[in-house]
Chain A
Amino acid sequence: MSQADLSIHGQVSRTGATEIMTAPTFSVPAKKMAMWLFIIADTATFAGCLVAYGFIRNATPDWPRPFHSITNVAIMTFILLTSSLTMLIGIRSAEKEDKAGAFRWMMITAVLGILFAVLHIREWLGMIGDGATLFHNPWGTPLFSSAFFSITGLHLLHVTGGVIALIAVAIRYQGGRYGADDIEVTGLYWHFVDLVWMFVVPLIYLMNLSH
């Protein structure tokens, strides 16, 4: 390779050796690409759970429909969708190098995530109070409770992890240790959590609504 080629494709390292630099995959920075790969893998995890749920629901003739009200899940959906918007505003603020704005909007997103988790846990406690556990279901087949607590629990775990990540990244961003790209990567994860909820709501809640 000529010196002219190296000036385009390579650089000289600290040790003096020439390293060939390749363009990032799909022109996406490594951190962002890693998050996309995680999202693809996590999509498979959630899809596996939802397909397994669909399998047992389809194969069980007397599947219970225990939900009487959509109020709680509607509020939870509204909160999670709104948190995606506040996350976007945070990302845009970070792109404009508005540190205070980005920090504020990320914290608002985290608070909305906490609110979602609190409502979710309150709903869980209500169901546990009715006698539903991972292995027991007062309305019929125990498979319902197993599927419900497993899938919503997995999602709640993601929300909890997301809230911790949001707070940690926001604090480090304000302290100057993280950049706007880190906020964008965290935002990708948060939108994914929101995206999964769009499938959990109809399949787990709305399909099991008693009429």
Chain B
Amino acid sequence: MAVAETHNTGGIGKDVAIYVLLLILAGIQFIIAYQDITASQMFVRMLSVAIIEAGLALLFFMHLSKNRGLMWFVVIFTVAVLLGMQYGWTDSFRLLDGVRWSH
């Protein structure tokens, strides 16, 4: 029977520390929700915190920090796909504002 790769570095103390950090970051997102700012500012701030949270979860909960090759494989493929999906935003703004150069 195969044995799992061991991830003993840091132990449970490190896991708990990351867990507490994630709770704090989630709390920060909830605080941002009550700030008197525009929707776009709120989006940028919340997304930034979410990316930090995701990074922590990937590196320490999913142990990507232990395997640089796999980490770059995951990051490059995922970021490439995510960037590829952003082509539609101009259309989204056009629906809202119309075609600016036609005015």
A residues lining the B interface (CB < 8 Å): 26-29, 31-32, 36, 39-40, 43-44, 47-48, 51, 54-56, 58-61, 70, 74, 77-78, 81-82, 84-85, 88-89, 91-92, 94-95, 179-181, 183-184, 188, 191-192, 194-195, 198-199, 201-203, 206-207, 209, 211
Contacts and interface: CB of A to CB of B under 8 A. Distances in A.
Contacts of A201: 26, 29
A199 to B, nearest CB: 5
Interface string B47-69: 10110011001100110000101
Interface residues of B, number: 53
A133 B96 CA distance: 25
Contact of A211 (B34, B43, B58, B85): B34
A184 B5 contact: yes
Interface of B: 1-8, 11-12, 15-16, 19, 22-23, 26, 29-30, 32-34, 36, 39, 42-43, 46-47, 49-50, 53-54, 57-58, 61-62, 67, 69-70, 73-74, 77-78, 81-82, 85-86, 88-89, 91-93, 95-96
